[in-house]
Structure 1
Amino acid sequence: MFNFTLMGASYLWEINFKDKEIEYNNNMAKNYLTKTLINSITSRSILAHALEHQQKLESKALLNSAAAEDYYPAIYALAHPGPLKTDEEILKSIKWRKIQISLKPSDENIEKGFIGDLYLSLNTPDYPNALYWLNRAITEEDDMLAEHNIAKLYAEGKGVEKDYVTAYMYYDLAGTAGAEEKSKLAERMTPEQVQEGLSRSHQWRDEHHSYRPGYGAWNDMGGIEWHVH
């Protein structure tokens, strides 16, 4: 069984052996892989890859079959299918991303913020779920993209009460990624509000032992220099 799976993968990805040079041949790959579909979740996942462009429904069915048996590569593929154009595709991606990080917690540090962002990308954004995942990404991983995205919510009052000071704090935490929006937001704030936003940002970084290379001083207000303790 393993040999059929290996040969199928070899024709798909041009894996060479000492005594045999394999050239890409999609049909040969399919022939070998189909011999072991019932008993090999690896074959199902690899064949799904071979079919993904010409036979999308069959490819998705094979991935779902392998994912139902907690086969991680299939789950990852379903969680990251490419451009997400509809709410249905977005929600399916969210579902599989949650399963992905439940099986491999080490993926949480890159997935939590993306899950929050996906909830925001729905035609009718799901703010409660977006805020939950963005906050997790921030408090658990210091995810600067999540900090940037949650800052926008506070600045615009979407899903939360409009709060310029909190928005400014998060834009500051986002580092250079939030610099332009932070500058524009400061024009609508008093100097005292800007100072409060900076103070809260630096306090957060002290409490979480967080550091931004080249971005650690109170340059915005000409205040004292901030250091990691």
Structure 2
Amino acid sequence: MPARVYWTRRLVLLGTALVLVALFARLLGGLSDASDGGSDRASTAGATTTTSPTEAVTTEPVKKKRKKKQTPTEPPLAEPTGPCVSSDIVATPVVAEALGDTDVPITLNLRTVSTPACTWSVSPETLTVSITSGNDSIWSSRECPASIVPRDVVVRQAVDAPVTVVWQQARRSDEGCTEQRDWALPGFYHVEAAALGGEPTDVQFELVVRPSGSDHQDGDA
């Protein structure tokens, strides 16, 4: 056959081979791009799942703990160092309510003048209480000593030590505190209290009529 035919066949085969090589290279390139894209999507998805909890934690508001208020503690009371001197005691009377024909409790708030704390023996010999109306003497613990119950009390300079004395049935007193005493009339009175050798304290109060229907309190005269 002529040489031209051989060269034509060779060129056709060569062209076919080149086309096949190009198609095969393009096919390999497409597969490579597909695998890269999948890995990118996988990494992106993995990054999303791992960073979401972190972002949720960082954006959550932090709650502050409230500090508890500390209540101030009071200083301890002084301990008694020995017996009190009566002249160092101040007795301040307080009458919350005074009803005629009934027992009238009189609270005596005891304090020391200079001693931080001491022990005092309360008795009719160390304490006196009297009730007056102008120049009229109405009642006295010296005539009715049973109204003061003997006891030992710790008296301090910083706080009151309350002691109760009873004005029995709101009656007048007499020598021996007999049962023949008259009842005090409604009105204003003064109660005076003092420790032996101490300064007396005077407080005014009002004796009022006992409401009708209330129970009568019988006290020992």
TM-score by length of 1: 0.23
**Structure with the larger RCO, 1 or 2 (CA within 8 Å, 6+ apart):** 2
Q: Which has the higher strand share?
A: 2
Bigger CA radius of gyration? 2
